[in-house]
């Protein structure tokens, strides 16, 4: 029997083939360019029909988040539409830390990934479809180091300036699945939540803030090997043109509410991170963040507030991170900004043995977050904090 073939020479592909023997392969993940970050993988196995594959990804103790591997199952698809789970086991003592993936494909082709990929082509399809919807404006905010357009979709005519942006860390592909759900709601003329948000707000959406890293198969960095979510205090055109472009557009519009959408490797839950440690923190900002989390927790059982990151002490916020920078930069407006995290692992409060956390649940969470935003605005209106809608 011939050996299987493994390739990653495609959009967002990432794997190094160390050896193949029959149905088994020893693999490694390529680092992001000019950095030590690695965790994202995406590759294709061919000649696999009916064969019990054993795929060992090695050297993972040195990955960006080694605690992301225990309890994690790789994603697999044979049609590139439905992404299910491939049973995986972790052994930190084997070959520098090894994730062993086992799967028996029903067809000759099977794709494996750290999470269901969101391709460049799907991104272009999404942007084209939403841009063609009534009341939606397309804007190219700038150009990346690889020459890609930084796409922004804008809608609504209200005074509240809302910014939603995702995939600063390109390997966190669930973030753009979230964007797909949110954008479909906003562009649907029959959706009551979208209609009311458009009346009250001007909504700016950047579905992929790091298209270069996404196409290159990076975990956390752009084409220069730069972590964009550490560039917000002093971005430069040479290192982080994406952040220069987005921050300049935010300065022009102002920001009242912002959500930065991410995925977390280790925590098997959906949670928010805030801006508690910024120097100019105002009580109404803290209350706004607390109230949004409370509303979202009530609206969807997929969100919770028990697990998350430690709260930053007063005055100790890292202003190079977008959530902190925006809350500080627009504190005079009472800006409420936040980071939304979704899991790479399963969702412990509501596990799914077929898919774990999935594109479908990410899309639905996008819709739920916008429903929570509308309810949050209602509460602010009732408190007299926002008035004079047209």
The answer to whether 341 is a known catalytic residue is: yes
- The DSSP secondary-structure symbol of 351 reads -
pLDDT for 133-149, tens place per residue?
Answer: 999 999 999 999 999 99
Overall pTM > 0.85: yes
Do residues 201 and 108 share a domain? no
pLDDT digits (tens, 9 = 90+) for 157-170: 999 999 999 999 99
* CATH number (domain holding residue 146): 3.40.630.10
Q: Are residues 186 and 169 in the same domain?
A: yes
Q: Is residue 388 part of a domain?
A: no
The separation between CA 340 and the C-alpha centre of its own chain, rounded to angstroms, equals: 8
The model's pLDDT over 347-369, given as tens digits with 9 standing for 90+, comes to: 999 999 999 999 999 999 999 99
Catalytic residue among 341, 360, 375, 385: 341
The answer on 303 and 229 residing in a single domain is yes
Domain end position, chosen among 63, 78, 113: 113
CA distance 207 to 168: 10
Which domain covers residue 357, as residue numbers?
120-383
> What does the pLDDT average to over 124-136?
98
- Tell whether 87 and 223 lie within a shared domain: no
Q: Is 80 left (phi over 0), alpha (psi -120 to 50) or beta?
A: left
For residue 139, give every residue at least 6 positions away whose Cβ sits within 8 Å of its Cβ, in sequence order, or none: 152, 153, 154, 249
d(CA 368, CA 279): 31
Q: For the residues of 29-88, what is the DSSP string, one character each?
A: PPPPTTSS-----EEEEES-TT--EEEEE--GGGSS-GGGSTT--EEEESSSS--EEE-E
78 and 140 inside one domain: no
pLDDT per position as a tens digit, 241-270: 999 999 999 999 999 999 999 999 999 999
Has residue 82 been placed in a domain? yes
Q: Determine the Cα–Cα distance for residues 291 and 337; give it in Å rounded to an integer.
A: 12
Q: What's the domain count of the chain?
A: 2
Question: Which of 113, 143, 165 represents a domain boundary (last residue)?
Answer: 113
Domain boundary residue among 56, 85, 113?
A: 113
- Where residue 15 sits, what CATH number does that domain have? 2.60.40.3120
Dihedral angle sign, alpha carbons of residues 375, 376, 380, 383: positive
- Judged against a pLDDT cut of 50, whether residue 387 lies above it is answered with no
* pLDDT given at position 388: 41
């Amino acid at each position: 029997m011939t050996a299987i073939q493994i390739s990653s020479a495609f959009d967002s592909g990432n794997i190094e083939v160390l050896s193949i023997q029959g149905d088994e392969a020893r693999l490694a993940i390529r680092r992001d360019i000019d950095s030590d970050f690695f965790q994202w993988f995406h590759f294709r196995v061919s000649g696999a029909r009916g064969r019990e594959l054993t795929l060992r990804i090695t050297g993972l103790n040195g990955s960006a988040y080694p605690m992301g591997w225990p309890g994690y199952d790789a994603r697999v698809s044979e049609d590139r539409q439905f992404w299910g789970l491939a049973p995986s086991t972790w052994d930190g003592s084997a070959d520098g830390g090894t994730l062993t993936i086992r799967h028996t494909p029903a067809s000759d082709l099977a794709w494996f990934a750290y999470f269901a990929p969101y391709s460049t082509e799907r991104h272009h399809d999404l942007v084209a479809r939403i841009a063609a919807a009534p009341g939606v404006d397309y804007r190219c905010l700038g150009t990346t180091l690889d020459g890609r357009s930084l796409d922004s979709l804008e809608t609504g005519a209200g005074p509240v300036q809302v910014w939603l942006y995702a995939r600063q860390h390109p390997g966190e592909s669930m973030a753009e699945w979230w964007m797909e759900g949110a954008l479909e709601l906003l562009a649907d003329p029959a959706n009551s939540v979208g209609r009311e948000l458009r009346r009250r707000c001007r909504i700016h959406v950047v579905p992929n803030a790091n298209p270069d890293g996404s196409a290159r198969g990076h975990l956390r960095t752009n084409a220069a090997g730069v972590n964009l979510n550490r560039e917000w205090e002093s971005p430069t055109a040479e290192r982080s043109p994406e952040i220069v472009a987005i921050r300049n557009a935010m300065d022009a519009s102002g920001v009242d509410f912002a959500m930065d959408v991410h995925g977390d490797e280790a925590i098997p839950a959906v949670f928010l991170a805030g801006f508690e440690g910024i120097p100019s923190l105002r009580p109404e900002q803290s209350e706004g963040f607390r109230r949004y989390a409370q509303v979202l927790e009530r609206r969807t059982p997929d969100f919770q507030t028990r697990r998350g990151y430690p709260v930053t002490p007063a005055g100790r916020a890292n202003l190079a991170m977008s959530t902190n920078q925006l809350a500080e930069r627009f504190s005079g407006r009472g800006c409420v900004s936040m980071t939304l995290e979704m899991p790479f692992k399963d969702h412990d409060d509501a596990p799914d043995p077929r898919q774990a956390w999935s594109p479908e649940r990410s899309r639905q969470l996008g819709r739920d977050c916008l429903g929570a935003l509308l309810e949050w605005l209602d509460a602010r209106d009732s408190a007299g904090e926002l008035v004079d809608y047209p």
